[in-house]
Structure 1
């Protein structure tokens, strides 16, 4: 049974436990104990969070006792103790994988575990990490990254995606999907997905426009004309078009294209589907329409983005 350890430092952010909950739910969903979970700290005993509440922890022991060690993030990076560095270095040798949530990446970097590796962290701190640890191959626009035995994730909630990725690798996609459903996560975001979603960038003010965008994201393969989107928003087509542009700064057609391009890029990076299959799956009808949309958005055709992604994965 894989033993998973979450490593905490004083001032840890409570959202770290969202990721650990995924392993807990995996046990429940599977109907048997797939994971044994431990909460560790350097000294053991109570460790205070950013909220001031203390959590009881076990003292560091032999990292070889664990399959997976995850460094929990702080609200902002802080100095790392010699004891924590030594534990993480030992874990990188003794454990199957070592991971970080959010600013926990600074701890891995301080221990030298990210040297020469691809890694990510919360976008707000990514450039600071790169400046302090220039040997790290920072990819600041990723949800999580797996480079060999080292896993790093972006902001706190992306720790859930990282944990679901581990569950999928350990026990398959079906269990990961059930866990995501139990956590009421819409879907498991793949590691290559951008931290900066087009849905977040559009940031509609009303629930009606948000409902239309959510409907669109869930039905990208459909035609998605103004009339269909207006029905999802419970507005007339004329009211919808006016309200949509006022709230998002985009026309419905351009917004839908952006969502399709985002989803198609993710499939390019994370799957082996052909360009024709990706185009149809994301509502472009054919690969030529998808190519033109990619050129408008990225200035590059899909083939170039796929080649660059594969080169980066092999580098």
Structure 2
């Protein structure tokens, strides 16, 4: 990751919501203990002490500092009936022109829209305000049905939990899925979800111990490269297929075959991020059989082909040709 995106400036102005502002600072402000890579350098930028909800925030520097940041975070505004503050809009526009990656959380999208950064792009905001955003800025393709939209250097999210998803998405872009999941665990939030509601990386085994499938799920994870049927799983668990399906719904919230497919996709994601293996090799290791099958399921589940995913989410210099993915041993 370049030094640019690691310099994060969180914009602050009166009327911002404290939740999104604090969330951005929490995600990017300090690395989890287990992370051993250069982390983000975060500053809060505003021209004066600002009121965020019921809290008074003292910025580290002025709004002009946004133009020197690699990543600019614009938290949510409490009031979107009026135009965003002109000084904030101008500072965000200047940061974008200087090459910054600009990110809005929730109704922070109205600032990006006022700055003209969303013209001709797909974007989102809190569902309660998508109609207003679309009406006020008709050149924006407002999508009310997604968690967030990544246009490369301009990103927007829906509200609250989706804003956290976008922050974790940025960590994933910059550092890869393993580190993003460490951050998610520290914050005690679900693993990273893709903008279109799909889950990029799901928990392979439920966190709680003592459930009915506690022995079966790790057994299946070690055999993802092998053909596994519902009958195979039921036999290993010493259950009927009907009882197995019932336990899967109770423990994992899905069917046995859907759970298996999710874990196979996850295995493919890990290998795309951490090895130089071909798509054919990854398809075999993930139990997909052929590259064609992997590409079909991967595109449908994740929304992009495997090759695109590898280019987008692989950390720099992470290639470990021939290495086995975590949990891939037999």
- Cα distance in 1 for partners of 2:212, 2:80 equals 37
Aligned equivalent of 1:158, options 153, 165, 170: 165
**1:6 Cα offset (Å):** 0.4
Structure having the higher helix fraction is 1
The 5 Å alignment of 1:225-244 reads 226=230, 237-238=239-240, 239-244=243-248
SS of match in other structure, 1:184: helix
- Cα distance in 2 for partners of 1:113, 1:248 equals 41
Structure 1 residues 197 and 69: CA distance shift in structure 2, 3 A: closer
SS of match in other structure, 1:104: helix
1:110 is aligned to 114
Aligned equivalent of 1:53, options 31, 52, 55: 55
1:181 is aligned to 182
Structure 1 residues 99 and 288: CA distance shift in structure 2, 3 A: closer
1:69 maps to 2:72: yes
Unaligned runs of 5+ in 2: 313-330
1:37 maps to 2:38: no
The 5 Å alignment of 1:165-244 reads 165=172, 167-168=174-175, 173=176, 177-178=178-179, 180-181=181-182, 184=185, 189=192, 194-197=196-199, 208=211, 221-223=224-226, 226=230, 237-238=239-240, 239-244=243-248
2:29 is aligned to 24
- Cα distance in 2 for partners of 1:160, 1:236 equals 42
Aligned equivalent of 1:83, options 67, 83, 87: 87
Unaligned runs of 5+ in 1: none
**1:45 Cα offset (Å):** 0.7
Structure 1 residues 242 and 214: CA distance shift in structure 2, 3 A: closer
Equivalent pair of 1:16/1:156 in contact (CA under 8 Å): no
2:326 is aligned to none
SS of match in other structure, 2:58: strand
TM-score (norm 2): 0.60
1:97 is aligned to 101
TM-score (norm 1): 0.63
Q: How many residue pairs end up in the alignment?
A: 285
Provide the alpha-carbon RMSD of the alignment.
Answer: 5.2
